[in-house]
Amino acid sequence: MANKQDFPVQLTDNEWRAKLSPEQFRVLRQQGTERAGTGEYDQHFAGKGVYECAGCNTPLYTADMKFKSGCGWPAFFDAIPGKIKQNVDRSWGMERIEIVCNNCGGHLGHIFKGEGYDTPTDERHCTNSAAISFNPDSDLKYEGKKK
């Protein structure tokens, strides 16, 4: 994970523990992963709204960026520009792309590319439900493709 001084929101571990549930703290602050198929947003689909960081409420993904991947975690094909940061993750004996909230540094999940999904980007942002919350009142929409 990036140095915590790289992010605007700066809280101590005790402040994060007071703000987050134990599972949210484990995922967002300790780079945890929830078990496949157990998160509340895996099968959650809405016509409009925004998925926000559960730690700091930063908008991360619009509802129309979400797709059914069958992987067991919420999947998005893109993020709202400038809202996530990508880091190389070499844990577990492989190289992956970790994604974190660009405002608080909270661990969201990983990006996988080139899996052949019929999406504008052919990316899967595999995101933990514990790391996000859903705001149905936003009318932000996906504004384009990147390849």
Catalytic (active-site) positions = 126
Alpha-carbon distance 107 to 84, whole Å? Answer: 10
CA–CA separation, 118 vs 103, rounded Å? 30
Task: Please tell me the distance from the alpha carbon of residue 83 to that of residue 40, in angstroms, as a whole number.
Answer: 22
Q: Where are the beta strands (DSSP E) in 10-83?
A: 50-53, 59-62, 66-67, 75-76
Q: What burial class does residue 127 get, using C-beta atoms within 10 Å of its C-beta: 0-12 exposed, 13-18 middle, 19+ buried?
A: buried
**For residue 54, what is the DSSP state?**
T
